[in-house]
Copies of this chain bind each other. A is one copy, B any other.
Amino acid sequence: MDVSVKGEYALRAVFELCSRGSSEPTKIADIAARQRIPQKFLELILSQLKQGGFLNSRRGASGGYTLAKPAEDITVGAVLRHIEGRLSTARRSDDNSRPPDSPFNEVWKQVDAALSNVIDRTTFADLLERWKEKRSRRAVSFQI
């Protein structure tokens, strides 16, 4: 699948909003600064995430972006598919509908399933939980 930079920026932006848990809107500039993402590029991405129903926004002073739904309802796969367009190997089917019936079809199907099994089952709530846990473990071992 090979995630593009844009795709990773999108994931990081959503994660940033999740980790703030705030219901107050977060400014693009803040997300850009925290996640080290070029601001004008991020603008496009956030707008696209809004089109996809992942985020809400408010303009004007004290405007910004918020999550459109709880972190446990947003999966890595959903974000990635929306930003990257077609994901995984699924053969370019050009325009003709019927599959070309190649010896590799079965493999591609298995790859798709295996991939989906990971990214469509991982929510941002999962990521946040693991991340917090990891940070706390690190803190402990650092104290010792």
**Inter-chain contact B111/A107, CB cutoff 8 Å:** no
Contact with B along A114-125 (1 / 0, CB 8 A): 110111001000
Which of B91, B106, B119 contacts A107, CB < 8 Å? B119
Bound: A2/B122 CA distance, A: 21
Shortest CB distance A41–B (Å): 16
Contact with B along A8-46 (1 / 0, CB 8 A): 100110010000000000000000000000000000000
Shortest CB distance A1–B (Å): 5
Residues of A within 8 A of B (CB): 1-3, 8, 11-12, 15, 76, 87-89, 91, 102-104, 106-107, 110-111, 114-115, 117-119, 122, 127-128, 130-131
Q: Show 26 A/B contacts (Cβ-Cβ < 8 Å), sorted by A.
A: A1-B1, A1-B89, A1-B111, A2-B2, A2-B87, A2-B88, A2-B89, A8-B91, A8-B104, A11-B104, A12-B102, A15-B103, A15-B104, A76-B104, A103-B130, A103-B131, A104-B127, A107-B118, A110-B118, A110-B122, A111-B115, A111-B118, A114-B115, A114-B117, A114-B118, A115-B115
